[in-house]
Structure 1
């Protein structure tokens, strides 16, 4: 699939790191490094503007290595970019570690996944079909 993109950064377009990767790595576009304090959140620009086709969304997700090694994650994960949005793609990062994390220009801070979605039309009813689980919610299926 082809997606229209404007790249106002000085970095290459997002790329897949392996042939079977689902996510394209997003890079920070910064004039100077940004220090992310413990429990602090900041909006990190990417310099990218995209035009998604109707029926698609882009999801901004954490990078597993940053999450595991440094406690850095995307706060509204996954962040959704709708097909009618034309502003800059930004990443809302939060530092869940006890240490300051310095974000450098060009650093891969998140990944972008493009996914097809459906548009819901609600069908009001008086009753739903029954299932074995029923209304069992959080923790209702046990530990194993």
Structure 2
């Protein structure tokens, strides 16, 4: 699939880092470094504007290395970009560590996965079908 993109950043377009990768790494496109203090969150621009086809979404997800090494993650994970959105892709980062983290221009800050989705319609009813799980929720199938 090919997606229309405006690259208003000074960086190359996102790329898959390995042949079987699902996510494209997004880079920060910022004029000056951004310091995230402990528990602070900020929107970081990427300079990318995309046009997704109908029936697709782009999911913005954390990069595992930033989360593991520095405690920095995507707050609303996964963030969803709808097919009718035409604004800049921005990443809502949060610093969950106890030390400052500095986001540098060009740094890979998140990954984007493009996926198909369905839209539903509701069918109101008074009863749902029975299953072996039933209403068992959190922890009902084990630890």
How far the C-alpha of 1:140 sits from its partner, in A, is 1.0
Query: Is residue 2:126 matched to residue 1:126?
Result: yes
How far the C-alpha of 1:113 sits from its partner, in A, is 0.3
The one-character-per-residue Cα deviations of 1:71-119 (angstroms, maximum 9, x if unpaired) are 0100000000000000000000000001100000000000000000001
Query: Is residue 2:3 matched to residue 1:3?
Result: yes
Taking the aligned partners of 2:31 and 2:87, their CA distance within structure 1 comes to 19
Where does residue 34 of structure 1 map in the other structure?
34
Structure 2 residue runs without a partner (length 5+)? none
How far the C-alpha of 1:53 sits from its partner, in A, is 0.2
Taking the aligned partners of 1:78 and 1:30, their CA distance within structure 2 comes to 22
Where does residue 101 of structure 1 map in the other structure?
101
Number of aligned residues? 143
Where does residue 23 of structure 1 map in the other structure?
23
**Dislocated runs of 4+, deviation >4 Å:** none
Greater mean alpha carbon deviation, residues 47-56 or residues 121-130:
121-130
Structure 1 residue runs without a partner (length 5+)? none
**Equivalent residue runs for 1:59-138 within 5 Å:** 59-138=59-138
Where does residue 14 of structure 2 map in the other structure?
14
TM-score normalized by the length of structure 2: 0.99
* Partner SS, residue 85 of structure 2: coil
